[in-house]
Structure 1
Amino acid sequence: MISALNVEDPLDLERQVCFALSIASRNVVALYRPLLDPMNLTHPQYLVMLALWGRAPLSVKELSRMLALEPATLSPLLKRLEAVGYVTRSRDAADERMLAVALTPEGAALRERALEIPPAIVAKLGMSLDELRDLHGVLTRVIAAAERR
């Protein structure tokens, strides 16, 4: 038993990085939901669209790497985005094994509406841009450290 005499319990739930990350992630993603619903997007689909708005067309392999998602996880997201008319998937003419993902005109136009999302999230969080940039930097280092395992 851990004594209460200035000895911190290493298994205290409130001290766990994994717990804080899990709760923060769930709560922040929930803030996106009312902003994404009118665009007919889920948060994972929004991440796919962000990647495509920045660099389309992309192969499934490139998207998988960028989003740190397995192709088997990414495939259903792409199918749903294709079904709502935001993306197309086609075989790469140079390499039939590669599946290329491109934006449709509707998917590209959706970017304009999405420009409202980052400032809305910043406002909902009530944190300064400097705090959020610092948090992003720390999380990026956490991700890199975990990937080095």
Structure 2
Amino acid sequence: MDDEDLLRLDQQICFSLHAAARAFNAVYRTLLKDLGLTYPQYLVMLVLWEHDELAVKKIGERLRLDSGTLSPLLKRLEAAGHVERRRSAEDERSVTVRLTEAGRALREKAVAVPRALADSTELSLDDVRDLRTRLDQLTAALDAHSGQGAKKTAS
């Protein structure tokens, strides 16, 4: 690739990922409307459906979100009756989040979302798995290059 092509927008992997993320968000917006969730709220719920209760710090680490971004999401989820937040008795600085019964019940409706999204991609299941694996590898390589991988390992 010559120097001229290096700076073409259509040659940038970051832009391809950005465009794909925006397209995903548009599909998710439609799919999540009936659940009353935004995409970031859906991600929080996915983590909690796996673990039922987690410290806010752990949720943030898992979703790669800082507390300034995560706190408003959790407040809205709590106001909607999906989660409860509690301060730890052992450490006042630590807040845990747990699913309510309504939050657990929402999981049953949400099961249809990944299938509908998979259908929207028009990719085979094997292609989706391969793409996810490659994106995970890309993320790990970029984290290692930026120093993020070392931070995760140290914590």
> What SS is found at the alignment partner of 2:34?
helix
> What SS is found at the alignment partner of 2:65?
coil
Structure 2 residue aligned with 1:48: 44
Structure 1 residue aligned with 2:68: 72
Aligned partner of 1:125: which letter? T
Matches within 5 A, 1:1-149: 7=2, 9-148=5-144, 149=146
- State the number of aligned residues: 144
How far does residue 56 in structure 1 lie from its aligned partner after superposition?
1.9
CA distance in structure 2 between the partners assigned to 1:122 and 1:53 by the alignment = 20
CA distance in structure 1 between the partners assigned to 2:120 and 2:135 by the alignment = 20
CA distance in structure 2 between the partners assigned to 1:10 and 1:96 by the alignment = 51
With structure 1 as the length reference, what TM-score do the two structures score?
Answer: 0.93
How far does residue 95 in structure 1 lie from its aligned partner after superposition?
2.2
How far does residue 61 in structure 1 lie from its aligned partner after superposition?
0.5
CA distance in structure 2 between the partners assigned to 1:146 and 1:95 by the alignment = 34
CA distance in structure 1 between the partners assigned to 2:107 and 2:21 by the alignment = 23
How far does residue 79 in structure 1 lie from its aligned partner after superposition?
0.4
How far does residue 96 in structure 1 lie from its aligned partner after superposition?
2.1
Please, which runs of 5 or more residues in structure 2 have no aligned partner? 147-155
RMSD (CA atoms):
1.2
CA distance in structure 1 between the partners assigned to 2:9 and 2:31 by the alignment = 31
CA distance in structure 2 between the partners assigned to 1:25 and 1:60 by the alignment = 25
